[in-house]
């Protein structure tokens, strides 16, 4: 009896070519920076000739897999202050909202070399929308710079009545003084700003006879501006003794 031994054959595994690629991108989300790193693996079998089924070519499809990781770094106060000033110069309100997402904000660590806060910068720029955004977040309303000037002082000095009115409406201390003892009323009187003088005189806490470091009152500084002088005198203002 003949024993026929049949040896089965199997198709060998097709070797594959594997390629890896690494990609990194940085996403600025306002007050934080997200670094995304992704590694992609591309696997593609090598083609091979086979006598199976008439020398057909056998090749599998390309497969790709990827894995990503994220690193989050929150910006320092100095970085946020720098980015805020850039956004203020560009009038980019949306960028400022991303930088300051909180409902209440402090400008700690965001002062420039003159002690100015981003609020000072917004007043200098004359951007009412940004000033109002900062006010709603209670950000730097009465913070003085190295000259003792609050944002309200700066607005009055620059003659920006609309911004000055807006800040005064949020200001708790309307008698705040600069480094020379000048109150908001001193500056408004000296600059002949009748509208601001009137608003301040209508404030129940105004000190109409406050004296600066030179001993001068708002009435003294209104000299030569008859309309201001008359307003002050009508409210009982007195010249310094």
In a domain, 186, yes or no: yes
- Helix, strand or coil, per DSSP, at residue 33: strand
In a domain, 85, yes or no: no
Within 13 Å, how many C-alpha atoms sit on residue 232's CB side?
Answer: 29
Question: What angle (nearest 5°) sits at the alpha carbon of residue 229, between those of residues 227 and 232?
Answer: 110
In a domain, 126, yes or no: no
In a domain, 25, yes or no: yes
Domain count, the chain: 2
Per-residue pLDDT in tens (0 to 9) along the chain, 241 residues:
555 544 444 555 555 677 888 889 999 988 989 899 998 887 776 554 444 444 444 445 567 788 899 999 999 999 999 999 999 999 999 999 999 998 889 999 999 999 999 999 999 999 999 999 999 999 999 999 999 999 999 999 999 999 999 999 999 899 999 999 999 999 999 999 999 999 999 999 999 999 999 999 999 999 999 999 999 999 999 877 5
For residue 36, give its domain range. Answer: 18-45+61-74
**Cα–chain center distance at 56:** 65
pTM to 2 decimal places: 0.76
Residues 156, 119: Cα–Cα separation, whole Å: 14
Domain CATH number, residue 216: 1.25.40.20
CB atoms < 10 A from the CB of 158, how many? 14
- Helix, strand or coil, per DSSP, at residue 57: strand
In a domain, 166, yes or no: no
In a domain, 81, yes or no: no
């Amino acid at each position: 009896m003949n024993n026929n031994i049949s040896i089965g054959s199997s198709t060998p595994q097709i070797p594959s070519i594997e390629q890896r690629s690494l990609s990194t991108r940085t996403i600025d989300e306002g007050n934080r920076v997200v670094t995304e790193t992704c590694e992609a693996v591309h696997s593609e079998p090598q083609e091979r000739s086979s006598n199976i089924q008439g020398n057909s070519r056998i090749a599998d499809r390309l497969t790709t897999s990827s894995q990503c990781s994220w690193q989050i770094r929150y910006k320092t106060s100095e970085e946020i202050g720098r980015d805020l000033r850039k956004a203020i110069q560009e009038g980019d309100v949306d960028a400022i909202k991303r930088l300051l997402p909180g409902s209440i904000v402090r400008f700690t660590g965001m002062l420039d070399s003159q002690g100015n806060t981003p609020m000072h910068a917004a007043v200098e720029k004359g951007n009412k929308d940004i000033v109002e955004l900062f006010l709603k977040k209670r950000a730097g309303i009465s913070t003085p710079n190295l000259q003792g000037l609050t944002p309200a002082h700066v607005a009055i000095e620059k003659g920006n009545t609309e911004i000055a009115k807006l800040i005064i409406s949020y200001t708790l201390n309307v008698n705040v003084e600069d480094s020379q003892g000048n109150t908001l009323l001193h500056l408004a009187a000296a600059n002949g700003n009748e509208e601001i003088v009137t608003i301040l005189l209508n404030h129940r806490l105004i000190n109409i006879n406050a004296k600066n470091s030179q001993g001068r009152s708002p009435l003294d500084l209104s000299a030569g501006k008859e309309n201001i002088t008359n307003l002050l005198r009508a409210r009982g203002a007195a010249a310094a003794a």
